[in-house]
Structure 1
């Protein structure tokens, strides 16, 4: 199976750009919206200064919480999951399952396709459960990586990564499969930029 999604019809918007203690007053997640056909996806609805930082930009797109069909959680740290409850009608995807209402459906994230343009892959490193959403767009593949990178500058040595070699392997995998990376707590950056691996 190829790493990259075969489709190129997805579009994305960063709803709020996150930060960490070293770049902001606290910790906030980068929260993104991805659309492909009738699928409306929120990636990492985590900690933000106020939920309007998520819902306001979403409303500017003409959408409310009930319009969201899917939520992707890159991993289970609270700073990336805190506001998942805003999207009560959405299917929630993580590394091992899909959840909806009272239904828990086991499935491995590796290679799971939400659509022909949206594919999940396993990318452990920041934690053992990390996943990345690869979105095929008209301009290339965008990787929503959670905290595989916190920001464009890394950190090169993630202080909470259990295994530096695993982190590096996953970073190289994502770089080979994508054109743009959306990190967990910062601005998107082009894969060709010099970034820590």
Structure 2
């Protein structure tokens, strides 16, 4: 059975900021992506509980990048392995590895997608509806076309094209609701 996707909280970036926090389930693997800033931790924990998962059951946490708005609530998941662009962290073990193409489970893997930062990664999940990509290459469906924090706008465009070349059924952006990619999204 392919992975399933549950949005725990939909993020935003305006006068306040919260990350889109997502639960991916693939068999006995439970992955939380970007457990960052939210108005209240209950906005992560209550939807997680409603999905039938306790914080202790979360096996993996993925950081799309190391900004606090995407990492602040990582400690909610005491049994998890933590993934970033260069390593896996668990308790006092630091295991170096490149995230590009790293497989967390049968239907979930990571891709190196620099752009917003030079260390960005995206999470790709194979679902019954098609590929779902969780990424900070877009903050929301409208872009922004010109990410004001992008460290390299050329890399951002290259990474956006690489994600779109995968023909994802759905993109879950860093600070907004999931969207179906169209020819109108910014590259």
Q: Deviations over 1:68-89 (max 9, x none)?
A: 0000100000000000010111
In structure 2, what is the Cα distance between the partners aligned to 1:163 and 1:59?
39
**1:169 CA displacement:** 0.3
Moved segments of 4+, more than 3 Å: none
1:103 paired to 2:74? no
Q: What TM-score do you get using the length of structure 2 for normalisation?
A: 0.97
**1:167 CA displacement:** 0.2
Relative contact order, higher structure (CA 8 A, sep 6+): 1
Number of residue pairs the alignment of both structures matches: 186
For structure 2, the residue ranges without an aligned partner over 5 or more in a row are: none
In structure 2, what is the Cα distance between the partners aligned to 1:190 and 1:33?
18
- Tell me, yes or no, if the aligned pair for 2:31 and 2:58 is still in contact at 8 Å: yes
Match of 2:162 among 145, 150, 173: 173
**1:174 CA displacement:** 0.7
For structure 1, the residue ranges without an aligned partner over 5 or more in a row are: 1-7
SS of 1:189 mapped into structure 2: coil
1:188 paired to 2:178? yes
1:124 paired to 2:117? no
Q: What TM-score do you get using the length of structure 1 for normalisation?
A: 0.92
SS of 1:144 mapped into structure 2: strand
Q: Residue 13 of structure 1 aligns with which residue?
A: 6
**1:193 CA displacement:** 5.3
**1:31 CA displacement:** 0.2
Q: Residue 40 of structure 1 aligns with which residue?
A: 30
In structure 1, what is the Cα distance between the partners aligned to 2:127 and 2:53?
20
In structure 2, what is the Cα distance between the partners aligned to 1:50 and 1:89?
22
